[in-house]
Structure 1
Amino acid sequence: MKDFSKLEQDLDLNFKDRDLLTQAFIHKSFLNENPDFRLGDNERLEFLGDAVLELVVTNYLFREYPGEPEGKLTSWRAALVNADRLSEVAREMDLNDFLLLSEGERKQEGKARDYILADVVEALLGAIYLDQGFERCQEFVKQHLIKKLPEIIEKGLFRDSKSLFQEKAQEKVSITPGYEVLEEWGPDHDKHFEVGVFLEKEMIAKGDGSSKLEAEEEAAEQALKVKGW
């Protein structure tokens, strides 16, 4: 079992419920090989942490940039909370060293590992929220993630296809795009997704990838071409 006390010390986190911290790092593949392990996987914590992260970032942008339009704030938020940025933050915090994975998953690197790390950041934030509250989450996100915002703005890193398509859709037709998984296949360690991007009920384009986020980005890129935006 991993020694999470070092992580707590490095990140200045003092968990009252240490099981929450451990669970944030349990990938479902680990439980496939260890079905009798006393804790569940991190997916519910990830679900909670995703919502907490979005609220923290949205609240910060709304308060700190009162003169900016909604479309631009949406793009900045998307650039801050996307999988690439979160996995980058996870590696800076050495979260990779604490992952609880199956033997097969441990051998996977590249994009597959990045998405697992992005999910762990969200799961960890969910655990912090349950254990220490919303204010501590705000401090944590500001310390480790929001510090990247000036570079994102300065270098225009917020203009990924998904955020650009959302910005254009809101500007031109006053609709926020929606994404829906059309099909998924493959084992847990090699999943594949096909995603459609919709403007209300109209599907504009499809994309595929090894994660939902990757497929959404591809769908948005195709949608920009379809619409000529």
Structure 2
Amino acid sequence: MNELQKKINYQFKDIALLRQALTHRSMGKGNNERLEFLGDSVLGVVVSRELYQRFPSIAEGKLSRFKSYVVRGQTLALIAAKLELSNLLILGSGELKSGGHNRKSIQSDAVEAILGAIFLEADFDTVNTVILDLFKEYIDDINPNDTLKDFKTQLQERLQKFGQTLPQYELIKTVGKDHNAKFTVNCFLKDYSMQVQQEAKSIKRAEQMCAEVLLEKLKEKKAS
């Protein structure tokens, strides 16, 4: 865990708190779900404030799309990969056998839990610095002239362009309650006989993740 702390440029006073941030719910009590909830909220505030200050003339709707782009699951998964979290995750035996270490959603959740742990142990200014450093390239990548349509909109427009059936989203599983709930959504593209499932902390986010994956699959199909 020393290497991880160097990469995030933060040294934990209580290493048990970092260990908890890396502990999946499959381990039972003492997992990272509450820290993840906290980290998700702090991440949203930090990124929102940064975007608000960077782009003073941009309206709320566009700022929301920019924020979604920065904090989306794919970005969190990329950061998790850079931090090499897969080998540090603490999983229950069942999750371990099913390859949970490589599951992007679990790695993304751990990133948010780490941020929650830093906020809990230190203060807002400290976690603000850590977040802006970790997410710098993704925030810097934003072009204020981009529309950044969300993935569901992009997928729908692509299918409509070719007169194809619109995607069918279905909630197939809910695990946990209240702020700890996780939702698994299935999305089916009839004309391609293609479907994916994604898990997230909200149905809306899970649907966006499904659409993002399907857009990539359609691009790969077109290129092949």
- TM-score under structure 1 normalisation? 0.67
Q: Tell me the residue number matched to 1:66.
A: 56
CA distance, structure 2, for counterparts of residue 141 and residue 163 of structure 1: 28
* Structure 2 residue corresponding to 1:16, chosen from 13, 16, 25: 13
Aligned partner (choices 209, 214, 219) of residue 206 of structure 2: 214
- 2: CA distance, partners of 1:134 / 1:192: 29
- Aligned pairs for 1:25-104 (under 5 A) are 25-31=22-28, 40-104=30-94
Structure 2 residue 106 is the aligned partner of structure 1 residue 116: yes
Match of 1:184 in 2: 173
| Count of residues paired in the alignment | 184
1:84, CA displacement in angstroms? 0.7
- Report SS of the residue matched to 1:193: strand
Post-superposition shift, 1:13? Answer: 1.4
Q: Per-residue CA shift, 1:151-204, capped at 9, x if unaligned?
A: 343895943325879xxxxxxxxxxxxxxx955169xxxx97248xxxxxxxxx
Q: Cα gap change, 1:12/1:29 in structure 2, threshold over 3 Å: closer, same or farther?
A: same
Say if 2:190 is the partner of 1:193: no
Judged with a 3 Å threshold, the aligned counterparts in structure 2 of structure 1 residues 52 and 185 are, in CA distance, closer, same or farther, namely closer
* Offset, 1:115: 0.5
Cα distance in 2 for partners of 1:115, 1:13 equals 23
**AA partner of residue 18 (structure 1):** I
Structure 2 stretches lacking a partner, 5+ long = 156-169, 176-181, 187-194, 213-224
Report the secondary structure of 2:173's partner residue: strand
**Distance in structure 1 (CA, Å) of the matches to 2:147 and 2:97:** 30
Which whole-Å CA distance do the structure 2 matches of 1:144 and 1:163 have between them?
28
Corresponding position of 1:5 = 2
Q: Deviations over 1:102-149 (max 9, x none)?
A: 344235459971101110111000000011111111111111113212
TM-score (norm 2): 0.68
